[in-house]
Amino acid sequence: MGPAVTLQVVRHGFYPRGGGAIEVHITPVERLQPIALLERGARRCAYAEAYISGLALHVAERELEVVGQRLNWSAEQLKVRGLSSDMGPGNALVLTVEHDNITEVFTGFGERGRSAESVAEGAVREAFAYLAHAAPVGPHLADQLLLPMALGGVTTFATCAPTMHFRSNADVIYMFTGRRIIAEGAGDAHSVTMR
């Protein structure tokens, strides 16, 4: 859409302790260049990262084992990201699927009393749901694209069935701008535009 954006994780943070920090640098442009997201394009790569801090290594290994088995990903696609124990205790599982036109990310967060396998299963279910349809934009990213759409950076995109969060974001944007976001389609094929 035009602006140059860089993001750097300064410090990871895990619930309940927190303390995470990121730095984002945005080089603005006078006007956003409109884009349309209608196709994913060719799949470039997919990988899983299990971030772990102050917990036993086997937690991350068990999560990645579930991902590898359920998504049929190779050992090269499964990475443990050990962090300093002073950032934890904590655990997050991040699945990334990159295509030519879009990258989707699915996450699972460890918490006390929740098994590593259930964390992985949750993230894998989201990835499966995304990969089961051809729309380039998943349900969580669809929510986030509505504001750039309202600002003129996105003209249209294809997504799966809109969520309640999507609909409430669209309603808030309508209240502030008077412009209505329309999602037309059925099942896993919706075209999103603004009027």
Residue 74: other Cβ atoms inside 10 A: 8
Q: How far apart are CA 188 and CA 138, in angstroms?
A: 10
Tell me: do 52 and 94 sit in the same domain.
yes
Q: Are residues 103 and 150 in the same domain?
A: no
| 61 plus 108 within the same structural domain | yes
Are residues 18 and 76 both part of a single domain? Answer: no
**Domain with 13 in it:** 4-37
Residues 145 and 126 placed together within one structural domain of the fold = no
Catalytic residue flag (residue 165): yes
Residues 33 and 47 in one domain: no
Rounded Cα gap, residues 165 and 2, in angstroms: 27
Q: Which amino acid is at 191?
A: S
Position 38 scores a pLDDT of 94
Check residue 54 and give left, alpha or beta (phi > 0: left; psi -120 to 50: alpha): left
Q: Are residues 53 and 119 in the same domain?
A: yes
Catalytic residue of the set 99, 133, 140, 165? 165
pLDDT in tens, the chain (195 residues): 999 999 999 999 988 788 899 999 999 999 989 999 999 999 999 999 999 999 999 999 999 999 999 999 999 999 999 999 888 899 999 999 999 999 999 999 998 899 999 999 999 999 999 999 899 999 999 999 999 999 888 899 999 989 999 999 999 999 999 999 999 998 778 999 998
pLDDT of residue 86: 86
Based on the structure, what is the number of domains in the chain? 3
Q: Is 70 exposed, middle or buried (0-12, 13-18, 19+ CB in 10 A)?
A: middle
Instruction: Give yes or no: residues 65 and 112 share one domain.
Output: yes
Candidates 148, 129, 147, 151; CA nearest to 139 is 129
In angstroms, rounded to a whole number, what is the distance separating the alpha carbons of residues 176 and 169?
A: 11
Q: How far is CA 112 from the centre of its chain?
A: 23
CA distance 141 to 159: 9
Same-domain status, 67 and 29: no
State residue 177's pLDDT score.
Answer: 92
Q: Taking Cα atoms as reference points, which of 46, 45, 47, 51 lies closest to residue 108? A: 51
* Pairing mode of beta strands 43-53, 21-27: unpaired
- How far, in Å, CA of 67 to CA of 74, rounded? 10
Which of 128, 162, 120 minimizes the C-alpha distance to 145?
A: 162
48 and 123 assigned to the same domain: yes
| CATH code where residue 61 lies | 3.30.360.20
- Indicate if 11 and 80 belong to the same structural domain: no
pLDDT of residue 182: 94
Whether 86 and 114 map to the same domain: the answer is yes
